[in-house]
Amino acid sequence: MKTCLIVDDSSVIRKVARRILEGLEFTIEEAEDGEQALAACQRKLPEAILLDWNMPKMDGYEFLRVLRRLPGGDGPKVVFCTTENDVAHIARALHAGANEYIMKPFDKEIVEAKFQEVGLI
Amino acid sequence: MTPADFDYLRKMLRERSGLVLSAEKQYLAESRLLPLVRRNGLASLADLIGDIRLKPSSQLATDTVSAMTTNETFFFRDKAPFENFRDYIMPALVAVRLREKRIRIWCAAASTGQEPYSLAMTLNEMGPALAGTRVEILATDLSGDVLDRAKAGLYSQFEVQRGLPIQQLLKYFTQEGDSWRIAPEIRAMVQFRTLNLLNDFSPLGTFDVVFCRNVLIYFDQETKIGVFNRIAKQIPDDGYLVLGAAETVVGLTDAFKPMPERRGVYTPNLAARRAGPVTLFASAKF
């Protein structure tokens, strides 16, 4: 089973995403912000990361930049999942190494389509 | 809805669009037609059917058929047909159309435009591989309303996230509030036209590729056979037919044969063509 790290400061979003991704047969880990996510990645890199942008302590963009510089940090497929739904943010995310981008609100079909797009399912 | 009204509706749908509505789908008819009832200031579904009985050629009757069609679609749906199109069908056609330098594609159930625009984006990505070949895409649908949406090329945030890679979104769409509009150069690659699949296709001319996906599943066997027969007349010997994942010609007609290892892709059955009129298994039971 592949592991997906869900990074979002909203417990509701984490719960919804967990339910969707467990349905797609992922093992789930959770983090509330970029710092927690980084600590989780330093312990063990997941195959997938579903990543919010705006979070306390370290935001998703900064986390991604640090992640991609870690040894093996280019491995996880990173799918942003955020309310930052404009072209400039999407372009910045891709430039920083994001593989896909989900604009909130989302549902199971969108998550499934995006994870398929990057070869996770 | 009374049983008599529902029977009338089912008969009308079948005769006018080929759509087969099974007896247990009354709930579907009610949920899809109630908005039309309200929009037209009618009191009930009985009034709607009553009006159509009086004026079967009215706009209301057309709108009723349109409301009952399923327009579920998304960009690059099922992926594999577009990979087959890019990696096999188009290179093969470009190679045999070196003199004409013209390839015609028909999306026979284009709905709100995601399929023809996915083909147009694929062609745009192919660039030099097309070797200067002019490619025309004709997109047809029964419903003028959904084609109006297709022509506008404006999609919700939800629609652009189903099947469309994020890089393609940035490259081929511009954001308009919460919606996204297809780029003018992609829009310009597609011609739209209303067409009933029960009608004669000969005025459309011939096509090198026909995408007829996820529409025949709503038709009965007899109607499917008729559509295959008429599509076969519009495809040259070296053309292609692409069907949806749940559709096949097998057991219905020998006008086409499946391509081994390219699921959903069919080519004209030349042996059957040479043998004479297309053989149709009209009385087959499945």
Measured between beta carbons, which residues in chain A are less than 8 angstroms from residue B163?
Answer: 113
Q: Please tell me the predicted confidence (pLDDT) of residue B286.
A: 33
Judged against a pLDDT cut of 90, whether residue B1 lies above it is answered with no
Instruction: Note down the domain range covering B198.
Output: 80-275
For A103, which of B161, B163, B165 is closest by C-beta distance?
Answer: B161
Question: Is it the case that residue A98 has pLDDT exceeding 70?
Answer: yes
Confidence of residue B40 (pLDDT cuts 50, 70, 90): very high
B120 and B62 belong to one structural domain: no
Round the CA-based radius of gyration of chain B to a whole number and report it.
20
pLDDT band at B282 (very low <50, low <70, confident <90, very high): very low
The pLDDT assigned to B262 comes to 95
Nearest to B183 by CA among B146, B140, B159, B153: B153
pLDDT tens, position by position, B52-99: 999 998 999 988 988 888 878 899 999 999 999 999 999 999 999 999
The residue out of B11, B34, B68 marking a domain boundary is B68
pLDDT of residue B131: 86
Average pLDDT over residues B204-209: 98
| DSSP for B128-139, written as a single string | GGGTT-EEEEEE
pLDDT of residue B276: 67
* pLDDT value at residue B139: 98
Q: Is the pLDDT of residue B189 over 70?
A: yes
Residue B108 lies in a domain: yes
Residue B134 sits in the same domain as residue B229: yes
Domain A2-117 indexed as CATH 3.40.50.2300 = yes
Claim to verify: residue B54 and residue B87 sit in the same structural domain: no
Q: Structurally, how many domains does chain B consist of?
A: 2
Distance, in Å, from the CA atom of A61 to the CA atom of A37, rounded to the nearest integer, reads 12
Q: Are residues B123 and B150 in the same domain?
A: yes
CATH number (domain holding residue B248): 3.40.50.150
B161, B179, B181: best to mutate for the A interface, most A CBs within 10 A: B161
Measured in whole angstroms, how far is the alpha carbon of residue A75 from the centre of its chain? 13
* B51 assigned to some structural domain: yes
Residue B67 tokens, joined: 């409301």
Backbone angles phi, psi at B239, to 5 degrees: -90, -175
Q: Say if residues B67 and B95 touch (Cβ distance below 8 Å).
A: no
Confidence tier at B284 by pLDDT (50, 70, 90): very low
- Tell me the shortest Cα–Cα distance from A77 to chain B, in angstroms: 14
Q: B158 or B275: which carries more pLDDT confidence?
A: B158
- Whole-complex ipTM: 0.94
Within a domain: B84: yes
Task: Judge whether B75 lies within some domain.
Answer: no
User: Alpha helices of chain B — where are they, by DSSP H?
Assistant: 3-17, 26-39, 45-54, 59-68, 80-84, 90-96, 114-126, 144-152, 157-160, 166-172, 184-187, 221-232, 270-275
Q: Tell me, yes or no, whether B174 and B253 share the same domain.
A: yes
Last residue of a domain, one of B68, B100, B119: B68
Q: Does residue B14 share a domain with residue B156? A: no
Q: For position B283, what pLDDT does the model report?
A: 41
B47 and B154 in one domain? Answer: no
Only one residue has tokens 């739904």, namely A85
Closest CA to B133 of B114, B105, B156: B105
Distance separating the N- and C-terminal Cα atoms of chain A:
11
Select the highest-mean-pLDDT range: A52-66, B8-22, B25-39.
A52-66
Same domain, B28 and B100: no
Percent of chain B with pLDDT over 90: 82
Residues B89 and B29 in one domain: no
Q: Are residues B27 and B97 in the same domain?
A: no
CATH code, B34: 1.10.155.10
pLDDT tier at B180, thresholds 50, 70, 90: very high
Give B126-178 pLDDT, tens digit per residue. 999 998 999 999 999 999 999 999 999 999 999 999 999 999 999 999 999 99
In a domain, B280, yes or no: no
In this structure, the answer to whether residues B148 and B57 fall within a common structural domain is: no
Interface test with B, best of A84, A87, A102, A106 (most B CBs within 10 A): A87
Is B49 in the same domain as B172?
no
Residue A19 to residues A5, A15, A45, A51, A108: CA-CA distances in angstroms?
13, 6, 21, 16, 9
Residue B277: per-residue pLDDT: 61
